[in-house]
Structure 1
Amino acid sequence: MAGVVPCSSSTLSPLTSLNFHYQEQCRALHAHSFILSTQRRGLYVCAAKKKVSFTDQILDYIEGGPKLRKWYGAPDLLPTDGSVTEDEDEFPEGDEIRDAVLVTDGDSEMGQMVILSLIVKRARVKALVKDKRAALEAFGTYVESLTGDSRDKPFLRKALRGVCTVICPNEGFLSTVGSLKGVKHVILLSQLSVYKGAGGIQALMKSNARKLAEQDESILVASGIPYTIIRAGMLQNSPGGTQGFSFEQGSAAKGTLSKEDAAFICVEAIDAVPREGFIFEVVSGDEKVSDWKVCLNRLLEKSEQQLQ
């Protein structure tokens, strides 16, 4: 794509093995932008001699700039310098529009995979990151990146402005954060079952992570906010979308799951909001899922029936 600035490989290293979940949407996007470019500039000829990789396509999509954003219909979340210009008092409390998804630990591997899936879903994305400049280089204005201490009440209030759903791709955030006032749904990707199933030296090495995971789950359950806890099997750096799934109780302790699939499921869970709480396990298995909305609503109904 013309005018694309190469991105930093270190910033986007978790995004170098993207799966089929995004391919059809990106093919449509690139076809749409090609048609528009021929209409506006005359015939635009791609002179590439080799097939463009899917990774290059998605990076082109992310870094396409304002013109591509306008074609694709995504909102301008940030000015080009990355600064936040929104007036702190633009929306009085109680009247603000809550349509954003906040991703915690947004510069982690899992955080970046979740963000990418949200971008493709055309969601309004906010992310807590340690390096705001690196996040801007990686995701451009598709993501409103915020740097600060989540334990600081003014910063947390700013981070949660306009947020409907919070996705926690790693343990530790809920154990340290204060009130999540105004949030309508919290999604937690939990490895607690994996930590509990570990033995020997692995159990010792994961003892702190297990403690944080236990605290996160207990705090979330007691928060009063509708929550979804996805207890995934051991996360692996394998391509997503290549296997089926299993949602059997007890499977997460010994099973595995692609990180790409885990990120995708976190994003799909946004549309399955429980009345109170929703906990399910997921690992790679034999069950093929063609419609995640139907699948998650089925699991949600089953979970609510068990609580009655």
Structure 2
Amino acid sequence: MTSNKQISRKTGVYPKSKLMARVIPSTFSLYGSSTPSFFPRNPTKTSVSYNLIHKTSLWLCNASKKPGFFDQILDYIEGGPKLRKWYGAPDLLPKDGSIAEDEGDDAEVEEARDAVLVTDGDSEIGQMVILSLIVKRTRVKALVKDRRAALEAFGTYIESLAGDATNTAFLKKALKGVRAIICPTEGFLSKVGNLQGVQHVVLLSQLSVYEGADGIQALMTSNAKKLAEQDESTLMASGIPYTIIRTGSLQNTPGGTQGFSFQEGSATKGSLGKEDAAFVCVEALSLLPENGFIVEVVNGEEKVSDWKQQLRELMEKKGKGQG
């Protein structure tokens, strides 16, 4: 069984299994280089955009500076014991390379609710959300289709769960220890049952985009629109504090390089980079609404240095407008 430690930093050769998910690389943007979008091996030739670091700052990695966060993450994946200790994480896989089955699944043990559950963790934005949470050292649980691929991509940074979320027993297991849920794609909330114990749900919604579509585009997005409508209505009726981030059309643009706009109606015609969308979802966890909060977000000119304060001001402004 090939272990993570067999990845050669000198040769840059990766076992095939390590490239199957390409999870972590998808959250970084490469500039000025035709290098493939997996791990750049020579930081003197490639600048890396760290859009998911706090305050959407751009961290550039080069040989004249100390190793950046990207290299630290890479060291961890390769089995760097110092970084595992720094994150408080154990080894990636058991010595025999197998995935250990959870023990005591049926045991009713009280567990601190300190985890964030990411639904659709296999999706591109779901992966970006997961990495952003890892950077914040958040305990992460993720619903995935391929548990082994998630384990090989993120190691023990996350607890990956594969199963049917409509199954009551599986959902109960998935929600164990969860304080908040981030839904980066539509279709989860309208299908599941009781989310008892969850204190905050963040939903990334493209409903405004779907409603603004016409012609062939409207036909192509009709099912997604239906799911988005059902998700929003289900969440509003759940009684759980929620934040709905209505975004413009999602683009494959580098994160952390543009500002934002929060104008009402902007989501219908505007756009937002996927990396920025994932970042905003995670930042939304910093402020818990009393009931519910809906905000439109697209890329624009406004720079945000304190997201909690920004969201608080938008929430107060919307409250006054409704009063």
TM-score range relative to shorter protein: 0.7 to 0.9
The answer on whether the counterparts of 2:52 and 2:275 sit within 8 Å (CA) in structure 1 is no
The answer on whether the counterparts of 2:186 and 2:227 sit within 8 Å (CA) in structure 1 is yes
Residues 77 and 304 of structure 1: CA distance in aligned 2, closer, same or farther (over 3 Å) = farther
**Matching residue's letter, 2:236:** V
1:145 is matched with which residue? 160
What SS is found at the alignment partner of 2:267? coil
CA positional deviation for 1:266 = 0.4
Indicate the percent of aligned positions where both proteins have the same amino acid: 57
Q: Do residues 176 (structure 1) and 188 (structure 2) align?
A: no
CA positional deviation for 1:12 = 1.6
Q: Which of 273, 277, 280 is 1:258 aligned to?
A: 273
CA positional deviation for 1:195 = 0.4
The answer on whether the counterparts of 1:78 and 1:144 sit within 8 Å (CA) in structure 2 is no
2:21 is matched with which residue? 11
The answer on whether the counterparts of 2:128 and 2:278 sit within 8 Å (CA) in structure 1 is yes
List alignment gaps of at least 5 residues for structure 2. Answer: 8-13, 30-47, 56-61
Higher helix share: 1
CA RMSD of aligned residues (A): 3.0
- Looking at structure 2, the residues matched to 15 and 286 of structure 1 have their Cα atoms a distance apart, in angstroms, of 23
Q: Do residues 299 (structure 1) and 314 (structure 2) align?
A: yes
**Matching residue's letter, 2:213:** A
- Looking at structure 1, the residues matched to 217 and 303 of structure 2 have their Cα atoms a distance apart, in angstroms, of 32
Residues 168 and 24 of structure 1: CA distance in aligned 2, closer, same or farther (over 3 Å) = closer
Q: Deviations over 1:14-68 (max 9, x none)?
A: 234273334689xxxxxxxxxxxxxxxxxxxxxx989999796265055153723
1:200-215 alignment runs, 5 A limit: 200-215=215-230
The answer on whether the counterparts of 1:16 and 1:55 sit within 8 Å (CA) in structure 2 is no
- Looking at structure 2, the residues matched to 78 and 96 of structure 1 have their Cα atoms a distance apart, in angstroms, of 23
- Looking at structure 1, the residues matched to 192 and 91 of structure 2 have their Cα atoms a distance apart, in angstroms, of 25
2:258 is matched with which residue? 243
What SS is found at the alignment partner of 1:252? helix
CA positional deviation for 1:297 = 1.7
TM (normalized to structure 2)?
Answer: 0.80
1:88 is matched with which residue? 105
What SS is found at the alignment partner of 1:209? helix
TM (normalized to structure 1)?
Answer: 0.83
The answer on whether the counterparts of 1:22 and 1:117 sit within 8 Å (CA) in structure 2 is yes
Aligned pairs, how many?
Answer: 285
1:126 is matched with which residue? 141
Residues 76 and 223 of structure 1: CA distance in aligned 2, closer, same or farther (over 3 Å) = farther
Q: Deviations over 1:191-232 (max 9, x none)?
A: 000000111100000000000000000000000000000001
Structure 1 residues 290-299 or 123-132, which shifts more? 290-299
Q: Deviations over 1:85-105 (max 9, x none)?
A: 35336554xx43100000000
Moved over 6 A (4+): 48-55
- Looking at structure 2, the residues matched to 101 and 143 of structure 1 have their Cα atoms a distance apart, in angstroms, of 10
- Looking at structure 2, the residues matched to 186 and 180 of structure 1 have their Cα atoms a distance apart, in angstroms, of 10
